Amino acid sequence: MAGQHQERADAARNRHAVLRAAERLVAEHGSDHVSLDRVAAAAGVGKGTVFRRFGSRTGLMRALLEERSLALREAVAGGRPPLGPGAPARERLTAFLDGLGEIAEGNAALLTAHEQACADDKYTEPSYLFWHRHIASLVAEERADLDADFLAHALLALFDGELVRRTTRPDDPRRFTRSIQETATALLTAPPVSRPPAR
C-alpha cells in the first residue's frame, strides 16, 4: 500500500514538473519550443514519462489549458450565480465570458500553442464541447430566434491567442474581455431575426 501511495505521489510530482516546464517554454520561447524532448529535459524527467502521461504534444497542450480552466468549469457547473446556475441567461453569459477572457488574457502564448497543437480536433475536444454547450444553451434561453449553435462557435472563435495579444495593452489589460462581452450583448439585443418561410 505504501509503495502504491509513493508511486502516485511521484506521478503527481512528475505531472506538475512537466506542466510547469511546458508552461515556461511556451512563455519564454513560443509554442515552437514545446516538443516532448524539450519539455522532458526542462522538467528533469525522461521523454517516456511525458509520453506515457500525455500521449503527445497535443495531449500536453490540452492538459495545460484544462488545468487553467478547471476552476471556471467547476464554477459554471455548480458555483454561485451569476457564473453558476440561478442567474438570468444574459448575466451568466457575461460572467462566463469574463472568466474565460481572464484566462485568455493571462495565457495568450499558451492559447496559441494549444490552437496549433490541437488544430485537427479542436471542435471535438472535451473542453471546447463543454464551453460550446454552455454558451449555446444560454443564447438559446435568451433568444430562441437565433442560431445558438453557430453563435457559440462564433464567440469561441474570437478566443484566438494572436487576437488576445494584439488587443491587450498594459494600460487596458481587459480590453479583449470587454469587447467580447460587448459583442455578445449586441447579438442578444439585436432585433428579432426574420427568416423566410420554409418552402
Average pLDDT in the chain:
86
pLDDT on residue 152:
97
- Report the distance separating Cα 101 and Cα 180, nearest Å: 8
- Report the distance separating Cα 175 and Cα 190, nearest Å: 22
pLDDT on residue 3:
47
Please say if the pLDDT value at position 6 is more than 70: no
Please say if the pLDDT value at position 157 is more than 80: yes
Q: H or E segment at 30?
A: none
166/33: higher pLDDT? 166
- Report the distance separating Cα 94 and Cα 67, nearest Å: 22
Please say if the pLDDT value at position 60 is more than 60: yes
As a whole-number percent, the residues of the chain with pLDDT over 90 amount to 42
pLDDT on residue 133:
97
Q: Tell me which of 1.10.357, 3.40.50, 1.10.287, 2.60.60 is the CATH number of domain 56-189.
A: 1.10.357
Please say if the pLDDT value at position 31 is more than 70: no
Please say if the pLDDT value at position 21 is more than 80: yes
For residue 34, give the 3-state DSSP assignment: coil
Please say if the pLDDT value at position 119 is more than 80: no
pTM confidence score:
0.76
pLDDT on residue 29:
75
126/72: higher pLDDT? 72
Phi-psi label, residue 172: left if phi above 0, alpha if psi -120 to 50, beta otherwise: beta
Give the CATH fold of the 1-55 domain: Arc Repressor Mutant, subunit A (1.10.10)
What residue spans in the chain does CATH classification 1.10.357 cover? 56-189
- Report the distance separating Cα 48 and Cα 37, nearest Å: 9
What residue spans in the chain does CATH classification 1.10.10.60 cover? 1-55
Burial class of residue 2 in the structure, from the number of CB atoms within 10 Å of its CB (0-12 exposed, 13-18 middle, 19+ buried) = exposed
